[in-house]
Structure 1
Amino acid sequence: MRKFVFGIVLVSVLFSCKDAKEKKAVKNPISNKDTVAEIAVSENSVEQEVFKSDFEILLPRSYRTYDNENPASLLNQKWIELYQENEEYYLGRPSYKIKKGFDECSGDSLISIMPENKALIFIDNPELKAGKINSLKIKKHKIWPNEKVNFTFNNVNYILRAEGKVLSENNAVSNDNEDEVFKEVAHYKLFITAGNNAEKLLLAEESFHDTFVELLFAGDIDGDGKLDFVFGASRDYEEERVVLFLSSRAEKGEAVKKVSEIAVQFDC
């Protein structure tokens, strides 16, 4: 009988300890307001800053609908369109049509932005002024590791220099239907130097999956007489990612500041 009573007491104590530990474990639950940067996945993980755009940008493409929301619905006549015409670039009010469809992969609706001009990006920044803008003709879109590109704009010399590890090389065809050597790259870093300022890191990507960084545009978008940049920086072949850099928002001693990016997934 004494053994039976002792057994009941022991079980009660064990359950009490278990309940106490469970209550202690959920004392500080993670709320929906916590960002990815604030949550460590493991002891060996490195916390990364979550980038927040100064304003939104959109691409002339199709967008999937999730939870009854679609990015394409944000576009309106208050936005600014960066487009190309006869080898020159202009800013103006968006000129486009909306086409609705259905995406078999996501199982939801699809909304496509169909530009009437040769649009590069749409920018939600009413401070930008419409009209022709000064731009450079880009001769080299991909800057591979151990390569550098020089620009001169309004008597200021710009240098883009790349570092990284080339994993492999293959013959490929570029977007302009020209033969090129495509390189699989890891630990990529792209630096920028403007005039007498010190070299600064512009872009950094640990790896790519059949993609690479491309310089899409170099010119004066914000009208301050200095170069701004638009880069394609897709990290996977089922992603389209574009990053915008403006000089007018740069900190002291820096050439440009990353102000906005968009990454669209179209995996199936």
Structure 2
Amino acid sequence: MKKIIVLVLACVSLIACKETSKTKNESDFQMAGDALAVKDSIAGSDSLFNNMEWIDEELYPKSKDLPLFVLSTGIFHGDETSPVMIHKGWFGIFRDRGKYYIAPTTLTIQKAFDVVLDENEHNSSEWTGWEVKTSHIDTSLVLISSSPRLSSHEIKTIPLDKDFIEPNEKMTFTYNGSSYTLYSTGDLKPAEYNKDEMIVSNYKLYIKGNKDGKEINQLIASTPTFEDAIFRVLFIGDIDNDGFPDLVLNTTYNYNLYRPTVYLSSFADKDQLVKVVGLHESVGC
């Protein structure tokens, strides 16, 4: 059986600089609560591709002109964040004893030793990195700048055993009685150095669902190429408390890049299920 190349170990500096979440690589999804997530092949299935718009081959989403800001906790290079960010006001998605909630939080952003770029760990005046912390003791999944559409509440989530969707496969789930499908398209070709492994290109990730009686197929992320990486589904749940599911993805296309991307349904246009509201890019090495 041929293996699809999706992830390799990043370099030691990436581990030292960034906090990364553990992922599972099981091949099946499981039922949890009222959510049934099912992995299946969509090769040859025409019904999923009706009424889809033409999409160019460039990376999507872009990081510019988004309505909100996104951050994570941890240590970052000097050009990846700034102390001025603390003045925007922030909400965090936190985990406490297996459950998620969103709440306002206070950030601190202080100088930190950058293990990649700085030379003298004992002279803080020469440090160029920034360390982002919150006022909460619970671990944060992602930080989102304040918006009138965000408020404190426990988040009903969709637990997933697998956090990526291989090319031409799908995952279905239900939320508040409505059915949704995350599905992908992409090209596969044998790797030149190992014919038993497959290289992914022209990868596109979509969400499908019904809104106001109309079926919507919406592109949520795409990239022409991956370098030892694949888009990851970090979170599905109602972040903005409007009764519809929201998403947090890692839309990385490179093993050395972390790119948490937040999609909210309350910002969506009438022909969308969710809308990209913010993302943050940081590298390790």
Listed as ranges, the gaps of 5+ residues in structure 2 are: 1-57, 119-126, 192-196
Across the aligned residues of Structure 1 and Structure 2, the Cα RMSD in angstroms comes to: 2.8
SS of the residue 1:226 aligns to: coil
SS of the residue 2:151 aligns to: coil
**Structure 2 partner of 1:139:** 161
Note closer, same or farther for the CA distance 1:85–1:129 as it changes in structure 2 (3 Å cut).
same
The alpha-carbon deviation at position 202 of structure 1 amounts to 1.5
1:90 is aligned to 2:101: yes
Q: Distance in 2 between matches of 1:257 and 1:64?
A: 28
C-alpha offsets along residues 231-252 of structure 1, whole Å, 9 cap, x if unaligned? 0111112211111111011111
**Structure 1 partner of 2:128:** 109
Note closer, same or farther for the CA distance 1:184–1:243 as it changes in structure 2 (3 Å cut).
farther
Q: Quick one: which amino acid aligns to residue 194 of structure 1?
A: G
Q: Distance in 1 between matches of 2:177 and 2:59?
A: 40
2:275 to 245, 251, 257: 257
1:245 is aligned to 2:263: yes
SS of the residue 1:74 aligns to: helix
The alpha-carbon deviation at position 213 of structure 1 amounts to 0.5
Note closer, same or farther for the CA distance 1:65–1:189 as it changes in structure 2 (3 Å cut).
same
Percent identity between matched residues is 25
Listed as ranges, the gaps of 5+ residues in structure 1 are: 1-45, 170-181
Q: Quick one: which amino acid aligns to residue 227 of structure 1?
A: P
C-alpha offsets along residues 33-69 of structure 1, whole Å, 9 cap, x if unaligned? xxxxxxxxxxxxx899953211111011212224xx8
**Structure 1 partner of 2:231:** 213
C-alpha offsets along residues 212-243 of structure 1, whole Å, 9 cap, x if unaligned? 10000001011110010000111112211111
8 A Cα contact 1:72 1:112, kept in partner: no
8 A Cα contact 1:95 1:117, kept in partner: no
Pairing of 1:20-169 with structure 2 (within 5 A): 51-66=64-79, 70-71=81-82, 73-75=84-86, 78-94=89-105, 100-107=111-118, 109-115=128-134, 116-127=137-148, 128-167=150-189
SS of the residue 2:281 aligns to: strand
Q: Quick one: which amino acid aligns to residue 241 of structure 2?
A: G
Q: Quick one: which amino acid aligns to residue 61 of structure 1?
A: G
* Structure number having the greater helix percentage: 1
Q: Quick one: which amino acid aligns to residue 230 of structure 2?
A: F
SS of the residue 1:192 aligns to: strand
8 A Cα contact 1:76 1:94, kept in partner: no
**Structure 2 partner of 1:32:** none
Q: Distance in 1 between matches of 2:73 and 2:59?
A: 33
Indicate the structure whose relative CO is greater, using CA pairs within 8 Å and at least 6 residues apart: 2
SS of the residue 2:166 aligns to: coil
The alpha-carbon deviation at position 119 of structure 1 amounts to 0.4
C-alpha offsets along residues 68-120 of structure 1, whole Å, 9 cap, x if unaligned? x8435513582101111122110112266656322253345111224531101
The alpha-carbon deviation at position 158 of structure 1 amounts to 0.3
C-alpha offsets along residues 146-171 of structure 1, whole Å, 9 cap, x if unaligned? 110001001110001110023458xx
8 A Cα contact 2:82 2:109, kept in partner: no
Q: Distance in 2 between matches of 1:80 and 1:168?
A: 44
Q: What TM-score results when the alignment is normalised by the length of structure 2?
A: 0.66
Q: Quick one: which amino acid aligns to residue 220 of structure 1?
A: D
Aligned residues: 209
Q: Quick one: which amino acid aligns to residue 102 of structure 1?
A: F
8 A Cα contact 1:197 1:254, kept in partner: no
**Structure 1 partner of 2:201:** 186
